[in-house]
Amino acid sequence: IEVYSRVSSGSDSFYLYVEDGNGNVNYTTVSKSGTITINDFNGFDPSGKWKIWIVTKGTVSTSTETIKVYYTY
């Protein structure tokens, strides 16, 4: 998968969590805007409801996330 984070000015770094439709969770630290590739979901079933959320490492973090899930059958 790829996640694009658009981090607001003045935001503290944060943990970005991704959960697939089967409950598998992965997280990484984000400190600036950009695209993150997460390969930990490779080979998993992409169906179901995916969730994405952030948890600040400081006082406040604001970010807009866009997730792309690539798959083949």
Token pair in block for residue 61: 């973090």
73, part of any domain: no
Q: What is the pLDDT of residue 40?
A: 96
Buried b (16+ CB within 10 A) or exposed e, 1-16: bebebebeeebeebeb
Backbone phi and psi for residue 30, each to the nearest 5 degrees, phi listed first: -125, 135
Mean pLDDT per 10-residue section of the chain, whose length is 73 residues? 98 98 97 97 94 98 97 85
Is the sign of the CA dihedral 16, 2, 36, 40 positive or negative? positive
Q: What is the pLDDT of residue 72?
A: 85
19, part of any domain: yes
42, part of any domain: yes
Q: How many structural domains compose the chain?
A: 1
Q: What is the pLDDT of residue 9?
A: 97
17, part of any domain: yes
Q: What is the pLDDT of residue 68?
A: 96
Enter the pTM of the model: 0.92
Domain span holding position 41: 2-68
